[in-house]
């Protein structure tokens, strides 16, 4: 069974803090993704990576950065958190670009 884990289920941070969200997958998948999900807007792609140390911007990369130093781990970084980054963050992985994605349980981030 594919397992994607995320470091926290719930996180509360203050405006201006640096925030790290970590994602780990155990199926040796090439591709990993970070999304945010907001009511009425659906899933929006922030960044994705198709190989170690490779990253590509998604639809809404502003205010975020990512790191993929190891194949199994993909980190999302909010350099200076803002209230409009309050959201559900979902990590996913897949073996290839045309395959289904497997999601982690999500991190609900609140920025005060």
Partner 1 sequence: RKEVEQDPGPFNVPEGATVAFNCTYSNSASQSFFWYRQDCRKEPKLLMSVYSSGNEDGRFTAQLNRASQYISLLIRDSKLSDSATYLCVVTQTGANNLFFGTGTRLTVIP
Binders of partner 1 among residues 23 to 42 (CB under 8 A) are 31, 33, 40-42
Give whole-number Cα distances, 5 to 22, 39, 40, in Å.
Answer: 8, 23, 25
Q: From 85, 41, 93, select the one nearest 64 (Cα to Cα).
A: 85
Name which of 14 and 100 has its Cβ closer to partner 1. Answer: 100
DSSP code at position 85: G
Name which of 36 and 78 has its Cβ closer to partner 1. Answer: 36
Contacts with partner 1, residue ranges (CB under 8 A): 31, 33, 40-43, 45, 48, 50, 56, 58, 90, 94, 97-106
């Amino acid at each position: 069974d594919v397992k994607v884990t995320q470091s926290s289920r719930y996180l509360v941070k203050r405006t201006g803090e640096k925030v790290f969200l970590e994602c780990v997958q155990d199926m040796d998948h090439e591709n990993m993704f970070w999304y945010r999900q907001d009511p009425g807007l659906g899933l929006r792609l922030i960044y994705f990576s198709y190989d170690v140390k490779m990253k590509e911007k998604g639809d809404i990369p502003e205010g975020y950065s990512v790191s993929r130093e190891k194949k199994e781990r993909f980190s999302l970084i909010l350099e200076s958190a803002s209230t409009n980054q309050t959201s559900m963050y979902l990590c996913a992985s897949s073996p290839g670009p045309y395959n289904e994605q497997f999601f982690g349980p999500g991190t609900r981030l609140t920025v005060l």
